[in-house]
């Protein structure tokens, strides 16, 4: 179980790095090719596949380029068996504060995100 935990933590760190650097190629190695990206925060449901989501990441200016401080952390990791895990993480991009619910599967020995369902709040200027 220790190796599994370390593998999931490593995948989550690559996930955070990919988001912070707007690294679509790096995120493509984190997400399973059939993964879903889902958000119901706003009125219209967002439900994208990787072929739709990764170009959005590639096109946006990265938080790193804007000099934003990193605000990412793992809240929890749970295992449902030797090939299935769930992680709750927090991160920020611009004024958006995200709570990401990530389901991971072991695919060919590597842990990969198969679904990202998330909520965001907007930080208000104080």
Domain hosting 105: range is: 2-122
Looking up residue 66, the CATH number of its domain turns out to be: 3.10.450.50
Structure confidence at residue 15 (pLDDT): 98
Tens digits of per-residue pLDDT, 59-104?
Answer: 999 999 999 999 999 999 999 999 999 999 999 999 999 999 999 9
Total domains in the fold of the chain: 1
Cα 120–16–59 angle (5° rounding)? Answer: 75
Distance, in Å, from the CA atom of 63 to the CA atom of 72, rounded to the nearest integer, reads: 12
pTM: 0.94
Q: Inform me whether the pLDDT recorded for 5 exceeds 70.
A: yes
CA dist., res. 87 & res. 10, Å (int): 12
């Amino acid at each position: 179980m220790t190796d599994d935990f370390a593998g999931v933590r490593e995948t989550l760190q690559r996930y955070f790095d990919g988001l912070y650097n707007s690294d679509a190629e790096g995120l493509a190695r984190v997400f399973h090719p059939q993964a879903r990206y889902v958000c119901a925060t706003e009125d219209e449901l967002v439900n994208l596949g990787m072929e739709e989501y990764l170009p959005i990441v590639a096109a946006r200016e990265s938080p790193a380029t804007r000099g934003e401080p990193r605000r990412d952390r793992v809240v929890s990791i749970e295992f449902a068996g030797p090939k299935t895990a769930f992680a709750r993480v927090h991160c920020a991009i611009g004024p958006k504060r995200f709570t990401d619910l990530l389901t991971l599967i072991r695919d060919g020995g590597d842990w990969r995100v198969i679904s990202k369902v998330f909520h965001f709040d907007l930080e208000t200027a104080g």
